[in-house]
C-alpha cells in the first residue's frame, strides 16, 4: 500500500522547509487557497476522515460546526500525545513538522480561523524544538502570518508546551491548560466548536488528523475516501509496542486484519508465544484476546467487538504475562492522572487501585472481583469526562475475561501471606448485600 | 447589559408538568415541581455550574447518557426522570464514592445535623459501603485563617469554596493544590486565607470541612433558634440570620436577598457579632462621678441626662450611622422641639479640601425617585461609575456585586477616585485625581458631558465611555463628595439617567443608615422627608467649632464618638472638653467618651433593636429583636422618649411602633407604610407611588460649588487623602476573632515618592503637618499617584484625623 | 488548633504517596498572599523579559502561566515561593493561582530538591512489560547517594517503540537494559551525550521487512 504520512519519512532533512518544499510541500496549501473556503470544507467532508486522537469524530463535520461570522475563532492542534502505547504523533512531528503546519493552515482556512495553537506535551522537548524551528521557517516563507501567499488569509501559529498531565489530552482539559489553568476538563455542552478556547469557537484536532489534510487536498476528498473502509476511510498510523518483534509506527490502510499488523508488520511476540491479551487502541481500550486478532482494524469493527480503535495504539502482551500486573499499572496510571474534579473518577480510580493492591498483598477475596466489576460500572457513564471510563472499561474487561486467573492470583497471594480466611472477611459484613443499612467504614 | 427576558416554558419531570423559566437549570426547575434532586457542588450564587460532584444525574429522554441536572438548561417539552433505577443506581454510586474517603466522624463534627452530606447519604445512599480499605487520614483540624478551620479529611472537593475565592471575591487566595485524589484545598506557601469575604466559604461548605473558629462546638442545630435581622455595621445593610442560643448570638449567616446582598456577607458582618457579648460592652448606665465613670441606676442616669434641658438652644446633637430611622427621628424631635436646638447632624464632616455638606435642596434633588438605581441595577448596567468611593471599604458587599456584573454580564466599570480602589483590576477605565478634589472632578466631568473640551484627556475619555457605552449607567458616589454631589445632577441630566429603568445613582453614606437618618430629619437643614426648615442648624463640623468656642454648651452623642469618627481630632477634643454636659449612648467605650462623657447610656446592638433603616438604594428594612437585651440595656427609643419627657417634651412614644408611626406620618414618601409591608424583605420606597412627593426640581438651580482647590504638592510635601478601612470599627476592636484584622496605621505612597524620599516599604515614618504628627508604616503601592499619600482614619491610635492640613511632610524615623 | 508543634503522627494508607501540604496548617503570622506589588517585588531582568514575551504570545496573559513557570523553574531550580511570587508580580496574578497550576503538572516542582540532572524512567504498560521496573530499580540504585541526579518513575512518555526507555534531561534513550543505568550516570558525569547509540532522535522509522530488532528478553 502506498504511504501518505510516512512516505519516505526518514528522508534526511525532511524536517526542513527546503526538503519539504522540494518534495511538493505546501503545494496543497496553494491549491486550497485557490479554492473557496466552502470547497475546502467539502473536500474534508468528502474524505470522511475521522479524528485520529481517540474519539473518532468526523473532522469535516467538526469544522462545519464552527459558527460563521467575524468572532475570534481558534484552531488547537492536540499534540499532547499521552495515551499509553501511543507515539505516532511524536515521530510525525519530529520527522515531518511542515506537513502538520501545512495541514493546520489549510484547516484554519476552511474554518475561517485566524489564531492557531499547537499544544505539545512538555516531555516532547526534541519535537517541540523541531516544530518551533519549522514554524519560524514557515513564517519566514509566508505560509504563516499576515496575508498568506497573497490570499488575504491571516493566521498566527503558537507552539505551547505542556507540563506533564495526561488529562490535558482531553480536549477541554487541554483548553483549560492552554488558558493557563489547571487542566481540568469542562462540562460539555457547550462543545468547543461553540465555546472553546477563550470562550471562542474552537476546532481541536489531533496531529495525525491535521497532517493528513494536505494529502486530502492533494488527492481530493473523494479519492482519499477510497482508501480504507466505508466508515473508516484513509490510512492510519498505528503504534505497536509490548511483546512484538518490531515495535514502532506503521501506516496501514484502515480495515486490514489486526493479525496482519500484529504478526505481519510487527512480527508477533518475539518469544514465539501466543498473544494473551492486547489493547487495540491505547490503554483506555477494553482488552481483546488472541481470538480477536482477525478483527478488521477499523473504528466500527473494533467497537462492535466491545473495544475501540482509540488512538490506534496496539499493546501486545504474550502468554507469559500476568493480567494483574497490567491491571495494576493501568489503575495506578489513571488514579495518578485523574484530575480530581469529578467524584466517580477521582474516588473510583483510587479505590480500584487499592483493591488491586489488596489482591497482591493477599488481603482480597474473590468477592472483591465482584465489587471491582461493580465499581467499574459505577464509574462508566457517570463522569465529567472520559478518563474514568478509560480505566473502568479495560479493568472491567479484564475482570470479565480473566476472572479465573485473577481468582487464582487472589488465592495464591493469600496463601503466600497467610491471610485471613474468606469467612473472616465476610464476617466483617462486607459480603452480605442484604444485611441492611450497616455502615462498614 | 440589560437583564435578559425569560419566557416561561413547560416540561415534564417524573410525570409532573412543571413550569419554569426558559434556560433555568433543571435542578432549579425541579424545585418548582416540588421534586428534589440532590447536589453538592451546584450553587447558583457561584455562577456557572461545574458539574463536579455528579450527584444530580438524571435521565433526560432523547439523551442516551445521564445528565447533570445542575448544568442542563430546561427546554420546552423536555421529559425528565429522576426516580428510575438507572438514576438511583448512579445516585447510590456517587454517595458510595463520596464516602470512600469521607470520615464518619459525624458525632464530633460541627456540621452534624445541618450537613448536606449527611442528609443526602441518608436520602439517596444505600446506607452501607463496600469499601474496606483504610481511608485517607490528615491532621485535623488545621487553621486556614484565624477565622476558618479546615478539616481536609472531610472535604469532598466540591469546588464551592475555591470558586468563591476565585470567581466571586476574586481574591484568588484559596486554591486546589495537587491533582486527582491527592487534591486538597489550601493556599500559597502556608499563607492564611485572609480577605474581606473569607467567611462565606464556611457557609458554602456542604460538609464539615470548613468551620468557623468562633462558632466551632458552641452549639448543635437543635440547640439554636434563628432570628432574622439586618446587619447595620455598614451601609450595605445585608440581610442576616442570627443563630441564637440562650439569648446569645453565636453565629451570623446570610439571609439571601437578591436585592441587597446577593447572599454574601463580609467578615465584619459575619464575625463582629462577638462585640455583642464581650466584657467591654456597656450594659449599665454610667455617670461621671469625681472624674470617673461609674455604673449607676437608670434613674440617676436619666436625671443627669435631663440636664440637657438646662442648655436650651445650645445643645449639639450628633447621630451615629447605626442609629435607626426612629432613633434619628426621635433625636430630631428632642433637639428641635425639646431643646430648641436645630444643631443636629448625622453626617461626617469632610476632611481636607472638602466641598462642604450637602444642602437640603441638593439632598432632596439627589433623592428624587427617578434618579435612584437599585442594587441589582449595578449588575445589569452597561456602565458603572465609582466616584470618590471604594465599595470594599465603604459598602463591602457592593464590591462583590460590581465584580459579578463585570464578570458575568459584561458591565464596564469606570473608577474615578483619589486612592486606587480594590476594583482597579476590573475597571475598563480608571482615573485618579488629587485627594480632596472629588467635588471638582465631578464638576469637570459634568462639564465634559455638557460638551466642554478643556477638561483634559482622561476626563474626556471617561465622559465618552459613560455617554457612548450604553444608556444604563449606574453611578456610585461616596459621601466625601459632599456638596460636590451637585454635579451629579448635571451628570445624570447629561446621560439621560432620570426615569430610566436600570440607570441611576446610589450614594454611599459614611454611616450604615446615613440615608435613613437624612430622611428621618437628622440633619441640620431639613426635617423628616427632606422638608426645608425655616432656620437651619449647624452641621457636624460647625457643631464642633461652636462647642470649642463655647457657643454650644452641651453635646448629645448618639452612637458616635467624634474624637474617633470626625476629622480634626484636636478640635473635637477641645469641643468635648469645653462643653458642660456630654450625654452619650454607646455600646463600647471609645477614647473620646471615656475621657469626656458625663452620662453614657448602654446602647443596643443590631440584634437587639426594633426599628427600621434605609438602604442606600432606598429600601426600608426592618430590624427585629433576635435576643433579649443583655444586662440593663433598654431600648433606645424608650430612653430617648424618657429624656425628652424629662426635658418637657411628651413625644407620645410608648411603644417602638409609635415612633415608626410618627415617622411614617412625617415623611410623605413613606405614607401608609406598615411594618408588615416592610416585612423580612424590605420595601424600596422610590418604587412606591407616594415617592412622587419628592421631586428633583430644576437641577439647573443647583449650583456646583467648586470648593477650595487643594494646594498642589511642593517642596517634598505630599497631598494627604484619607480612607476608612473596612476593619476600622469599634465592633472589630472588641470582637476577639477580628482583633487580628485591626489595621495599624500605614502611609500609602507611590514608588516614585518613596524613592525620592528614600523611604523603604515597611519602614517607620513620621507624617506631620502644622505641628501635628503621627507615626505610620510606609506602604509603597503601585497605583498611588505620585504626589499623593493616604492614611486611614477611624483608628483607635495614630488615626489620620490627628492631622488637619492637606499637605503633609513625611520623614523616616 | 494544631499549628505544628507537638503534633502526633497520623497513620495513613500506605499507597506510597505522601502529598506535601495535606497536613499543613497555615502560618498565622504570615500576611495573606495577595497579588505582589511590582514596586516591592524584584525580578531578575532575564526572567522578566522571558515572562513578558510569553504573555505577549497569547490573547490572554493567563495562558503564559505554564511557560512562565517553566522559565522561573529554570532560574530558581524549582517553583519556589520566591519564583512563584516573581511570576505573580509580572503576570499580575496571586501566587496562589500559580501554585495551584504548578502543583497540577508533573514537570513543575514545588518542593526543593538538589538537582542537576533529571532522569525520568517510564514505568507504564509497554515499558514495564519489557523490564522497566527492573530498570528503574537499577537506576535508583546507581544514583543512590548522588544528589545531583533526580530519578523518578514517570507515566508513558510516548516512546513505547524503544521500551523500556528513559528521558534523560529531555533526551529519549532506549531500549535500555539495567546495565545502562550506570552508563547513563557515567555519561552525565562526563558531560558527554547520554547513550548516543540509543537516542531516539537518530532512530529510523520501523520497517516491517527488517529483521527483528527486539531480542527476546522474557
Q: Determine contact: B104 vs chain A, CB below 8 A.
A: yes
Residues of C in contact with B781 (CB under 8 A): 37, 39
User: A68: distance to nearest CA of chain C, Å?
Assistant: 21
Q: Which of A198, A224, A250 is the last residue of a domain?
A: A224
Q: Could you give the strand order of the β-sheet that contains B16-21, starting from the edge strand earlier in sequence?
A: B16-21, B8-13, B79-81, B57-60, B67-68
Specify the long-range contacts of residues C91-94, CB closer than 8 Å, at least 24 apart: C91/C51, C91/C55, C91/C61, C91/C62, C91/C64, C91/C65, C92/B425, C92/C35, C92/C61, C93/B172, C93/C35, C93/C62, C93/C65, C94/B171, C94/B172, C94/B173, C94/B188, C94/C33, C94/C34, C94/C35
In a domain, A133, yes or no: yes
Chains with ≥3 Cβ pairs under 8 A against B? Answer: A, C
Residues of B in contact with C32 (CB under 8 A): 171, 173, 191-195
Q: Determine contact: A42 vs chain B, CB below 8 A.
A: no
Parts of chain A with a pLDDT under 50: 422-441
* One domain, residues A308 and A328: no
* One domain, residues A257 and A182: no
Q: What is the average pLDDT score of chain C?
A: 88
Of B138, B144, B192, the CB nearest to C10: B138
Q: Identify which has the larger pLDDT, C36 or C16.
A: C36
In a domain, A312, yes or no: yes
**Residue A309 φ then ψ, to 5°:** -80, -30
Cell of B606: 443590631
* One domain, residues A186 and A285: no
Number of domains observed in the structure of chain A: 3
Q: Which of residues 413-432 of B touch C (CB under 8 A)?
A: 425
Q: Determine contact: A428 vs chain B, CB below 8 A.
A: yes
d(CA A202, CA C216): 47
Tens digits of residue pLDDT in B239-260: 999 999 999 999 999 999 999 9
Cell of B123: 436520602
In a domain, A5, yes or no: no
Q: Determine contact: C54 vs chain A, CB below 8 A.
A: no
The interface predicted TM-score (ipTM) is: 0.94
Residues 6 or more apart in contact with residue B39 via CB below 8 angstroms: B27, B53, B55, B56, B69, B70
Q: What pLDDT is recorded for position C18? A: 53
Q: Determine contact: B100 vs chain C, CB below 8 A.
A: no
- The CATH number assigned to the domain holding A279 equals 3.10.20.600
Domain boundaries, position A88: 17-224
Q: Determine contact: A378 vs chain B, CB below 8 A.
A: yes
CATH of domain C117-202: 3.40.30.10
* One domain, residues A314 and A345: no
* One domain, residues A294 and A414: no
* One domain, residues A314 and A412: no
Provide the angle, in degrees to the nearest 10, between the axes of the packed helices C81-91 and C95-104. 120
In a domain, A365, yes or no: yes
As a whole number, mean pLDDT of residues B232-241 equals 98
* One domain, residues A82 and A215: yes
* One domain, residues A86 and A184: yes
Tens digits of residue pLDDT in B555-583: 999 999 999 999 999 999 999 999 999 99
Q: How many CB atoms lie within 10 A of CB A259?
A: 16
Q: What pLDDT is recorded for position B115? A: 97
Tens digits of residue pLDDT in B514-534: 999 999 999 999 999 999 898
Q: Determine contact: B756 vs chain C, CB below 8 A.
A: no
- The CATH number assigned to the domain holding A371 equals 1.20.1440.230
Distance (Å) of CA B606 to CA A145, A386, B308, B348: 65, 53, 27, 21
* One domain, residues A125 and A156: yes
Check if the beta carbon of residue B483 is closer than 8 Å to that of residue B355. Answer: yes
Cβ distance B195 to C28 less than 8 Å, yes or no, reads no
Q: Which of A318, A338, A369 is the last residue of a domain?
A: A318
pLDDT category of residue C12 using cuts at 50, 70 and 90: very low
Q: Determine contact: B19 vs chain A, CB below 8 A.
A: no
* One domain, residues A337 and A423: yes
Q: Determine contact: C14 vs chain A, CB below 8 A.
A: no
Of B66, B128, B176, the CB nearest to A440: B128
Q: What pLDDT is recorded for position C211? A: 60
Residues of B in contact with C30 (CB under 8 A): 190-192
Which parts of B589-701 are beta strand (E)?
Answer: 599-602, 611-614, 619-623, 683-684
Q: Which of A286, A318, A350 is the last residue of a domain?
A: A318
Q: How far is CA A294 from the centre of its chain?
A: 22
Tens digits of residue pLDDT in B464-488: 999 999 999 999 999 989 999 999 9
Q: What pLDDT is recorded for position A441? A: 34
Q: Determine contact: C40 vs chain B, CB below 8 A.
A: yes
Chains with ≥3 Cβ pairs under 8 A against C? Answer: A, B
| DSSP-assigned letter for residue A192 | T
In a domain, A8, yes or no: no
Check if the beta carbon of residue B544 is closer than 8 Å to that of residue B561. Answer: no
As a whole number, mean pLDDT of residues B314-333 equals 98
| DSSP-assigned letter for residue C39 | G
Q: Which of residues 152-211 of C touch A (CB under 8 A)?
A: 154-163, 167, 170-172, 200-201, 204-208, 210
Tens digits of residue pLDDT in B695-715: 755 555 455 555 566 666 677
Taking phi over 0 as left and psi of -120 to 50 as alpha, with beta for the rest, B364 belongs to alpha
* Mutation for C interface: B153, B162, B172, most C CBs within 10 A: B172
Of C62, C206, C208, the CB nearest to A180: C62
In a domain, A230, yes or no: no
| DSSP-assigned letter for residue B311 | G
Q: Where in chain C is the domain with CATH 3.40.30.10?
A: 117-202
Cell of B316: 449639639
Tens digits of residue pLDDT in B598-633: 999 999 999 999 999 999 999 999 999 999 999 999
As a whole number, mean pLDDT of residues B638-644 equals 98
Cβ distance C103 to B178 less than 8 Å, yes or no, reads yes
Q: What is the average pLDDT score of chain B?
A: 94
* Mutation for C interface: B134, B154, B175, B751, most C CBs within 10 A: B175
Of B68, B98, B157, the CB nearest to A340: B157
In a domain, A104, yes or no: yes
Tens digits of residue pLDDT in B151-164: 999 999 999 999 99
* One domain, residues A87 and A213: yes
* One domain, residues A192 and A245: no
Tens digits of residue pLDDT in B742-760: 999 999 999 999 999 999 9
By percentage, how much of chain A surpasses pLDDT 70?
95
As a whole number, mean pLDDT of residues B651-657 equals 95
**CA end-to-end span of chain B:** 51
Cell of A371: 465489587
Cell of C13: 494508607
Beta carbon pairs, A and B, within 8 Å: 119
User: A173: distance to nearest CA of chain B, Å?
Assistant: 13
pLDDT category of residue C218 using cuts at 50, 70 and 90: very low
Amino acid at each position: 500500500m502506498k504511504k501518505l504520512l510516512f512516505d519516505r519519512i526518514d528522508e534526511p532533512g525532511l524536517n526542513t522547509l527546503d526538503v519539504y518544499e522540494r518534495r511538493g510541500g505546501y503545494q496543497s496549501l496553494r491549491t486550497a487557497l485557490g479554492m473557496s473556503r466552502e470547497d475546502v470544507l467539502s473536500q474534508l467532508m468528502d474524505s470522511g476522515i475521522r479524528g485520529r486522537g481517540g474519539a473518532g469524530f468526523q473532522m469535516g463535520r467538526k469544522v462545519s460546526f464552527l459558527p460563521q461570522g467575524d468572532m475570534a475563532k481558534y484552531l488547537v492542534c492536540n499534540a499532547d500525545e499521552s495515551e499509553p502505547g501511543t507515539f505516532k504523533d511524536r515521530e510525525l512531528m519530529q520527522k515531518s513538522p511542515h506537513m502538520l503546519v501545512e495541514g493546520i493552515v489549510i484547516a484554519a482556512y476552511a474554518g475561517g480561523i485566524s489564531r492557531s495553537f499547537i499544544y505539545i506535551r512538555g516531555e516532547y522537548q526534541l519535537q517541540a524544538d523541531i516544530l518551533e524551528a519549522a514554524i519560524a521557517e514557515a513564517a519566514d516563507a509566508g505560509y504563516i502570518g499576515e496575508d498568506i501567499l497573497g490570499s488575504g488569509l491571516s493566521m498566527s501559529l503558537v507552539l505551547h508546551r505542556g507540563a506533564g498531565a495526561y488529562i490535558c489530552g482531553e480536549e477541554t482539559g487541554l483548553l483549560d491548560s492552554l488558558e493557563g489553568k489547571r487542566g481540568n476538563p469542562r462540562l460539555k455542552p457547550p462543545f468547543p466548536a461553540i465555546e472553546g478556547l477563550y470562550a471562542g469557537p474552537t476546532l481541536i484536532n489531533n496531529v495525525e488528523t491535521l497532517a493528513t489534510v494536505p494529502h486530502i487536498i492533494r488527492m481530493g476528498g473523494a479519492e482519499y475516501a477510497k482508501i480504507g473502509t466505508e466508515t473508516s476511510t484513509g490510512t492510519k498510523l498505528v503504534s505497536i509496542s509490548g511483546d512484538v518483534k518490531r515495535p514502532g509506527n506503521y501506516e496501514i490502510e484502515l480495515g486490514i486484519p489486526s493479525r496482519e499488523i500484529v504478526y505481519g508488520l510487527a512480527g508477533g511476540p518475539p518469544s514465539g508465544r501466543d498473544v494473551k491479551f492486547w489493547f487495540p487502541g491505547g490503554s483506555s481500550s477494553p482488552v481483546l484476546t488472541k481470538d480477536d486478532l482477525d478483527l478488521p482494524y477499523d473504528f466500527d469493527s473494533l467497537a462492535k467487538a466491545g473495544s475501540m480503535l482509540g488512538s490506534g495504539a496496539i499493546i501486545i502482551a504474550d502468554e507469559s504475562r500476568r493480567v494483574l500486573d497490567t491491571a495494576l499499572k493501568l489503575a495506578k496510571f489513571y488514579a495518578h492522572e485523574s484530575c480530581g474534579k469529578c467524584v466517580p473518577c477521582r474516588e473510583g480510580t483510587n479505590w480500584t487501585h487499592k483493591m488491586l493492591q489488596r489482591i497482591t498483598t493477599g488481603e482480597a477475596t474473590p468477592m472483591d472481583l465482584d465489587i471491582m466489576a461493580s465499581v467499574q460500572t459505577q464509574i462508566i457513564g457517570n463522569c465529567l469526562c472520559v478518563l474514568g471510563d478509560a480505566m473502568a472499561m479495560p479493568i472491567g474487561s479484564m475482570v470479565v475475561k480473566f476472572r479465573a486467573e485473577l481468582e487464582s492470583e487472589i488465592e495464591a497471594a493469600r496463601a503466600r501471606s497467610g491471610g485471613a480466611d474468606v469467612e473472616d472477611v465476610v464476617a466483617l459484613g462486607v459480603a452480605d448485600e442484604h444485611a441492611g443499612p450497616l455502615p462498614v467504614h | 447589559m440589560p437583564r435578559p427576558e425569560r419566557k416561561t416554558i413547560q416540561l415534564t419531570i417524573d410525570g409532573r408538568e412543571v413550569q419554569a423559566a426558559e434556560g433555568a437549570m433543571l435542578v432549579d426547575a425541579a424545585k418548582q415541581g416540588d421534586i428534589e434532586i440532590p447536589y453538592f457542588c451546584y450553587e447558583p450564587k457561584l455562577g456557572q455550574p461545574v458539574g463536579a460532584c455528579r450527584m444530580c444525574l438524571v435521565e433526560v429522554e432523547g439523551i442516551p447518557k445521564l445528565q447533570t441536572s445542575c448544568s442542563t438548561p430546561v427546554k420546552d417539552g423536555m421529559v425528565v426522570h429522576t426516580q428510575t433505577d438507572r438514576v438511583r443506581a448512579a445516585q447510590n454510586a456517587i454517595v458510595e464514592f463520596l464516602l470512600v474517603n469521607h470520615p464518619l466522624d459525624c458525632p464530633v463534627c460541627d456540621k452534624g445535623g445541618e450537613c448536606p452530606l449527611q442528609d443526602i447519604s441518608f436520602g439517596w445512599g444505600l446506607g452501607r459501603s463496600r469499601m474496606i480499605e483504610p481511608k485517607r487520614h490528615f491532621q485535623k483540624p488545621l487553621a486556614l485563617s484565624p477565622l476558618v478551620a479546615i478539616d481536609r479529611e472531610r472535604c469532598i472537593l466540591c469546588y464551592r469554596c475555591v470558586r468563591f475565592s476565585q470567581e466571586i471575591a476574586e481574591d484568588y487566595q484559596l486554591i486546589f493544590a495537587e491533582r486527582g485524589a491527592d487534591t486538597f484545598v489550601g493556599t500559597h506557601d502556608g499563607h492564611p486565607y485572609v480577605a474581606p469575604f473569607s467567611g462565606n466559604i464556611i457557609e458554602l461548605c456542604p460538609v464539615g470541612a470548613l468551620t468557623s473558629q468562633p462558632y466551632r462546638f458552641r452549639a448543635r442545630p437543635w440547640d439554636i433558634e434563628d432570628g432574622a435581622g439586618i446587619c447595620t455595621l455598614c451601609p450595605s445593610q445585608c440581610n442576616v440570620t442570627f443563630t441564637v442560643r440562650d439569648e446569645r448570638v453565636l453565629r451570623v449567616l446570610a439571609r439571601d436577598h437578591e436585592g441587597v446582598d446577593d447572599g454574601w456577607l463580609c467578615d465584619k458582618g459575619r464575625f463582629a457579632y462577638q462585640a455583642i457579648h464581650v466584657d467591654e460592652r456597656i450594659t449599665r448606665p454610667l455617670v461621671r462621678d469625681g472624674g470617673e465613670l461609674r455604673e449607676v441606676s437608670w434613674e440617676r442616669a436619666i436625671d443627669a441626662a435631663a440636664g440637657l434641658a438646662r442648655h436650651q438652644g445650645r445643645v449639639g446633637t450628633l447621630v451615629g450611622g447605626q442609629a435607626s430611622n426612629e432613633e434619628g427621628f426621635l433625636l430630631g424631635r428632642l433637639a428641635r422641639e425639646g431643646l430648641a436646638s436645630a444643631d443636629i447632624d448625622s453626617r461626617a464632616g469632610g476632611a481636607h479640601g472638602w466641598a462642604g455638606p450637602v444642602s437640603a435642596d441638593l439632598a432632596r434633588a439627589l433623592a428624587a425617585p427617578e434618579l435612584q438605581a437599585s442594587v441589582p441595577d449595578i449588575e445589569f448596567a452597561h456602565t458603572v461609575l465609582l466616584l470618590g468611593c471604594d465599595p470594599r471599604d465603604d459598602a463591602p458587599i457592593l464590591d462583590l456585586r460590581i465584580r459579578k456584573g463585570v464578570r458575568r454580564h459584561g458591565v464596564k466599570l469606570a473608577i474615578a477616585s483619589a486612592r486606587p480602589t480594590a476594583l482597579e483590576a476590573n475597571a475598563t477605565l480608571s482615573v485618579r485625581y488629587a485627594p480632596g478634589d472629588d467635588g471638582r472632578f465631578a464638576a469637570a466631568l459634568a462639564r465634559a458631558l455638557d460638551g466642554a473640551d478643556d477638561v483634559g484627556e482622561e476626563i474626556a475619555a471617561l465622559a465618552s465611555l459613560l455617554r457612548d457605552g450604553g444608556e444604563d449607567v449606574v453611578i456610585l458616589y461616596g459621601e466625601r463628595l459632599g456638596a460636590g454631589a451637585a454635579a451629579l445632577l448635571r451628570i445624570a441630566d447629561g446621560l439621560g439617567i432620570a426615569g430610566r429603568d436600570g440607570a441611576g445613582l446610589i450614594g454611599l453614606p459614611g454611616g450604615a443608615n446615613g440615608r435613613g437618618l437624612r430622611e428621618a430629619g437628622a440633619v441640620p437643614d431639613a426635617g423628616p422627608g427632606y422638608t426645608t426648615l425655616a432656620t437651619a442648624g449647624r452641621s457636624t463640623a460647625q457643631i464642633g467649632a461652636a462647642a470649642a468656642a463655647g457657643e454650644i454648651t452641651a453635646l448629645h452623642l448618639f452612637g458616635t464618638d467624634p474624637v474617633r469618627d470626625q476629622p480634626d481630632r484636636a478640635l473635637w477634643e477641645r469641643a468635648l472638653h469645653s462643653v458642660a454636659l456630654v450625654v452619650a449612648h454607646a455600646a463600647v467605650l471609645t477614647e473620646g467618651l471615656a475621657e469626656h462623657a458625663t452620662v453614657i447610656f448602654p446602647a443596643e446592638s443590631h440584634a437587639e433593636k426594633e426599628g427600621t433603616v434605609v438602604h442606600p438604594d432606598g429600601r426600608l428594612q426592618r430590624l427585629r429583636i433576635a435576643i433579649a437585651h443583655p444586662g440593663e440595656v433598654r431600648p433606645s427609643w424608650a430612653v430617648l422618649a424618657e429624656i425628652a419627657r424629662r426635658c418637657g417634651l411628651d413625644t407620645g412614644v410608648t411603644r417602638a411602633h409609635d415612633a415608626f408611626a410618627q415617622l411614617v406620618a412625617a415623611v410623605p414618601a413613606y405614607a401608609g407604610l406598615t411594618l408588615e409591608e416592610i416585612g423580612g424583605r424590605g420595601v424600596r420606597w422610590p418604587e412606591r407611588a407616594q415617592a412622587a412627593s419628592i421631586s428633583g426640581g430644576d437641577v439647573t438651580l443647583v449650583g456646583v460649588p467648586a470648593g477650595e482647590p487643594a494646594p498642589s504638592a511642593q517642596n517634598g510635601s505630599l497631598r494627604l487623602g484619607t480612607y476608612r478601612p473596612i476593619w476600622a470599627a469599634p465592633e472589630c476592636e472588641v470582637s476577639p476573632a477580628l482583633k487580628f484584622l485591626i489595621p495599624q496605621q500605614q502611609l500609602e505612597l507611590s514608588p516614585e515618592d518613596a524613592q525620592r524620599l528614600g523611604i523603604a516599604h515597611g519602614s517607620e515614618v513620621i507624617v506631620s503637618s502644622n505641628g501635628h504628627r503621627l507615626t505610620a508604616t510606609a506602604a509603597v503601592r503601585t497605583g498611588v499617584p505620585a504626589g499623593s499619600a493616604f492614611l486611614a482614619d477611624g483608628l483607635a491610635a495614630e488615626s489620620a484625623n490627628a492631622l488637619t492640613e492637606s499637605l503633609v511632610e513625611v520623614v523616616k524615623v | 488548633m494544631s499549628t505544628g508543634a507537638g503534633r502526633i503522627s497520623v497513620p495513613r494508607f500506605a499507597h506510597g504517596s505522601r502529598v506535601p501540604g495535606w497536613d499543613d496548617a497555615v502560618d498565622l503570622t504570615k500576611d495573606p498572599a495577595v497579588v505582589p506589588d511590582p514596586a516591592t517585588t524584584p525580578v531578575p531582568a532575564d526572567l522578566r523579559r522571558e515572562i513578558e514575551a510569553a504573555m505577549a504570545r497569547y490573547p490572554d496573559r493567563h495562558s503564559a502561566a505554564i511557560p512562565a513557570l517553566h522559565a522561573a523553574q529554570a532560574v530558581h531550580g524549582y517553583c519556589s515561593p520566591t519564583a512563584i511570587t516573581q511570576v505573580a508580580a509580572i503576570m499580575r496574578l496571586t501566587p496562589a493561582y500559580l501554585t495551584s497550576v504548578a502543583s497540577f503538572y508533573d514537570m513543575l516542582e514545588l518542593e526543593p530538591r538538589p538537582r542537576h540532572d533529571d532522569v525520568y524512567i517510564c514505568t507504564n504498560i509497554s515499558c514495564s512489560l519489557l523490564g522497566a521496573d527492573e530498570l528503574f530499580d537499577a537506576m535508583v540504585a546507581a544514583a543512590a547517594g548522588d544528589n545531583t541526579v533526580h530519578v523518578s518513575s514517570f507515566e508513558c512518555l510516548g516512546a513505547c517503540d524503544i521500551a523500556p526507555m528513559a528521558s534523560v534531561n529531555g533526551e529519549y534513550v532506549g531500549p535500555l537494559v539495567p546495565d545502562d543505568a550506570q552508563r547513563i550516570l557515567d555519561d552525565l558525569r562526563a558531560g558527554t551525550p547520554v547513550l548516543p547509540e540509543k537516542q531516539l532522535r537518530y532512530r529510523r522509522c520501523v520497517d516491517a521487512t527488517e529483521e527483528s530488532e527486539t531480542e527476546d528478553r522474557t
